[in-house]
Amino acid sequence: MIEALPTTLPPLRGDAPTLIVGRLKDGQALNYTLEGTVAGRPVEVNGSEPVGEAEADNFFLIGMIEQWKNAKDQPALSRADRLLAAFSTQTQMARADLIAQAEWAMGQDKLEVAKELFDKAQRLDPEDTEARAGLKIVQKLRNGLINKKQLHEQLVQAEKEEQKQVAQNTQKPAPPPDVAPPVDQGDLLEQQKAREKVEQQRVTGVVDEAQRQARRILTSDPDEAHDILKRMYNSVRDNPDIGDQTRLLLLNRLETALRSVDTAGVRIKSERARQLQAEIDARRRADVIQSQVAEDERLRARMRQFSNLMNQARYEDAYLQALAVEQDAINAGRPVPVAATAGYMVGLNANNLSQIQELRRVREERFLLTMMQVERSAVPFPDEPPIQYPPAAVWREITRMRKERYESSGFTEDDPLTIQAIRRMREKLSKPISLDKAIDKNTPLKDALEFLSDRYDLTILIDTPAFKQEQVDNVEDLPVGLPRMSQVSLSTVLRLLSG
């Protein structure tokens, strides 16, 4: 044996396997010697184990050896079966992740990155056909032997051929078996073994293809990748045409792949959710920034308007503009801009200062005008020509004309009939009358007014709301009285009754 790790073993137990990895030369058997103590007594055990054939599924042991070299003196305290399963799953996940990243980089035309990732995947699994094929495709793309469009067309054509082949195999009935001549029992066993070997190779290829397909779509659809492997697992488990050892090996591979896909799926979904949340947060921050930029632009525009008003000496309008900016910010729940507060104070002070200066100017102007009037009042002037006033008859005629036209006014003042009716009513009210008989003191106002209305042919109405405003209710029933009168106007009689 060339190398064995770890160099220090933990206490060996019969109920727990202990893992030792290393490199050895070609040989049929591995001979070993264990030296130690049991219950304080020295014990030496010699043994030999046959060396089995190499299996491609054990590719993860290469990375395990390289990792253990960094801590060769630390014993492996975990169980051997758990260590192998955990490291196998970890290595397969790392390989699948590297291949997925390489395929993504190749899709983004990052050929150097894709080549490095495929190289890392091949170092993890030197027998990985997918990594080897990826390196060949990258090399062809770099040399210009093929482009992305041609590669896409080849993939589409391959998928069509595969679907066509599956459809043909499904639709075409199987040909009737040829009747073979009887053979002996030994030939039948050989034929059965051959058929099992062919079926095992076919199922192994299908499993490999399912694993490749799952790795290919893992980054885009983890659930579908899990379903592909799960269906393949059920198919292998229920296939009676393969041997138990091959079935167990394939089931172990599929279980490992399922664990790898599930673990990677959780990580991918979490990463997608994180990216989605990051995009939402970024979009929200962009909206906030855009809203803030728009608000700043509106504030700058309004403050430019404030500056223009100040330059035009329109201080009151500028003060109101700054006040409106402050009020809008308060109503929107935003902080009041410092520029708006400063503009408000500057505009308010400038407005009051301008008014004070205007008042000072007005006082100076009015003082000078007053002194000028004083000086002007001391200037004598002759009463030439004298003022001529019209005679009394002219004044009486002018008064009569003005009274006829302007003494009464209303909506129908231009109607001649209305003017005549008003004139007649005025004449009746000013005409002297005589009350030959006194009106008793307990006579209701309504009865007294009806007496006057019937006697002098007048329509007399009482403005009841006006009396209510004076806190007088039931004015028509109030007792009134008048003594005997002679040669008094009707308007005087009515005034005495209403008083």
| 338-388 per-position pLDDT tens digit | 888 888 899 889 989 999 999 999 999 999 999 999 998 888 877 777 778
Identify which of 164-178, 387-401, 458-472 has the greatest average pLDDT: 387-401
Query: Does residue 489 fall inside a structural domain?
Result: yes
Confidence tier at 414 by pLDDT (50, 70, 90): low
What pTM was estimated for this model as a whole? 0.35
**Distance between the two ends of the chain, CA-based, in angstroms?**
142
Residues 156 and 215 in one domain: yes
Residues 254 and 360 in one domain: no
Residues 364 and 482 in one domain: no
Residues 439 and 420 in one domain: no
Residues 6+ apart with CB under 8 A from 260: 89, 92, 93, 96
User: Parallel, antiparallel, or unpaired: how do β-strands 432-435 and 21-23 relate?
Assistant: unpaired
Query: Does residue 227 fall inside a structural domain?
Result: yes
- What is the tens place of the pLDDT at every residue in 107-165? 777 888 888 888 888 887 887 788 888 888 888 888 877 777 777 677 667 666 655 55
Alpha carbon of 37 to those of 14, 33, 34, 45, 271: distances in Å?
A: 14, 13, 10, 11, 52
Query: Does residue 459 fall inside a structural domain?
Result: yes
Residues 438 and 354 in one domain: no
Residues 240 and 106 in one domain: yes
Residues 268 and 209 in one domain: yes
Of the listed ranges 99-103, 267-271, 315-319, the least confidently predicted one is 99-103
Residues 350 and 437 in one domain: no
- What is the tens place of the pLDDT at every residue in 291-336? 888 888 888 888 888 889 889 888 888 888 888 888 888 888 888 8
d(CA 435, CA 452): 10
Query: Does residue 295 fall inside a structural domain?
Result: no
Residues 353 and 485 in one domain: no
Supply the mean pLDDT for the chain. 79
Query: Does residue 441 fall inside a structural domain?
Result: yes
- What is the tens place of the pLDDT at every residue in 7-33? 777 777 766 777 777 777 776 677 778
Query: Does residue 255 fall inside a structural domain?
Result: yes
Domain that holds residue 448: 432-499
Residues 243 and 355 in one domain: no
Query: Does residue 467 fall inside a structural domain?
Result: yes
d(CA 367, CA 36): 126
Residues 440 and 418 in one domain: no
The confidence score (pLDDT) of residue 168 equals: 53
**Better pLDDT: 475 or 316:** 316
- What is the tens place of the pLDDT at every residue in 223-253? 888 899 898 888 888 888 777 888 888 888 8
d(CA 217, CA 224): 8
The number of folded domains in the chain is: 4
The confidence score (pLDDT) of residue 158 equals: 62
The confidence score (pLDDT) of residue 446 equals: 81
Strand partners, 37: 42
Q: Which of 272, 304, 332 is the last residue of a domain?
A: 272
Identify which of 14-18, 37-41, 72-76, 359-363 has the greatest average pLDDT: 359-363
- What is the tens place of the pLDDT at every residue in 188-229? 667 666 777 777 788 888 888 888 888 888 888 888 888 998
For the chain, what is the radius of gyration of the CA atoms? 59
Residues 241 and 317 in one domain: no
Cα-Cα-Cα-Cα dihedral sign, residues 80, 84, 87, 90: negative
Query: Does residue 284 fall inside a structural domain?
Result: no
